[in-house]
Structure 1
């Protein structure tokens, strides 16, 4: 069963959204990835959300740049958690997308990560799924332990260079 839906408004967003896919693959979380626009293919987008929900999907990650309506449109069409990724693009370099995603009206929340924060969006989705999945909880703990060990190794290498 597909647990996470990853959706973007344009193929130009793929290089960012691919980072979310890599994290989901690393944790063996089944996902599907789609391109569908909140503006150009509204009906298709809402139909996908409804189908994803009916098929038992659990979390949606939506990336969008500029006006960034995609995460909000999706959140308005489902009660599933939606994680918005503002994509750096246009004259404002993603700040407009960040504001558009984070400033949702009361009652229709969208969890929002930083600009181009696809890795964190996927990790947040994994954390949501891990609430009811002990194996995922253990994988997340191991992931964090490895990150800490990596920092310690980098510091050790730095200290060695400074001594030389």
Structure 2
């Protein structure tokens, strides 16, 4: 049964939102992925949010560009935590970030960096890790792997200098 719902307002968001799916797969977390528009299919958004908990969804990752209402609409309709992924728009660039991060008091939406669905999945995993020890262990392993990679890069930089390092 899916623990995380990945939702986006349009299929044009899929190239960004696939990163969340791939990261959840690395953590072994089941998810569902849907296209639901807060504006074009508001009834579907309502139904999705209202039934999320009973369907076993414990965290929602919602990506949206432009006006970016989807994360806020879902958060207003469910007690399930919502993580918003602002997707860079072609017109203003950061309008989706501002739309998601400025939610009114009482309707929180956790927000990650623009186009960073990967971080949304990591945050979802950390939320689930509170309840699921196996997810907690996978998150710890992931963090340790990141640490090792940075240490390896630092060691290489110190050994060969920045010019050779940049040459590859």
For residue 145 of structure 1, report the CA deviation from its aligned partner.
0.7
For residue 141 of structure 1, report the CA deviation from its aligned partner.
1.0
Kindly provide the CA deviation profile for residues 84-127 of structure 1, in whole angstroms up to 9, marking residues without a partner as x: 0000112211x111110011111111001110110110000000
Give runs of aligned pairs for residues 73-112 of structure 1, distance below 5 A. Answer: 73-93=73-93, 95-112=94-111
Q: Give the structure 2 partner of residue 22 of structure 1.
A: 22
Between the aligned partners of 1:18 and 1:107, the Cα distance in structure 2 is: 29
Secondary structure in 2 matching 1:67: coil
Q: Give the structure 1 partner of residue 141 of structure 2.
A: 142
Q: Give the structure 2 partner of residue 7 of structure 1.
A: 7
Between the aligned partners of 1:162 and 1:71, the Cα distance in structure 2 is: 45
Contact 2:52 2:78 in 1 (8 A): no
TM-score by length of 2: 0.93
Between the aligned partners of 2:137 and 2:54, the Cα distance in structure 1 is: 29
Q: Give the structure 1 partner of residue 35 of structure 2.
A: 35
Q: Give the structure 1 partner of residue 132 of structure 2.
A: 133
For residue 51 of structure 1, report the CA deviation from its aligned partner.
2.6
Between the aligned partners of 1:40 and 1:55, the Cα distance in structure 2 is: 23
How many aligned positions are there?
Answer: 163
For residue 35 of structure 1, report the CA deviation from its aligned partner.
0.3
TM-score by length of 1: 0.95
Between the aligned partners of 2:90 and 2:49, the Cα distance in structure 1 is: 27
Between the aligned partners of 1:68 and 1:33, the Cα distance in structure 2 is: 18
Secondary structure in 2 matching 1:145: helix
Give runs of aligned pairs for residues 55-66 of structure 1, distance below 5 A. Answer: 55-66=55-66
Between the aligned partners of 1:136 and 1:52, the Cα distance in structure 2 is: 21
Instruction: Give the stretch that moved more between structures: 150-159 or 105-114.
Output: 150-159
Contact 2:85 2:120 in 1 (8 A): yes
For residue 50 of structure 1, report the CA deviation from its aligned partner.
2.1
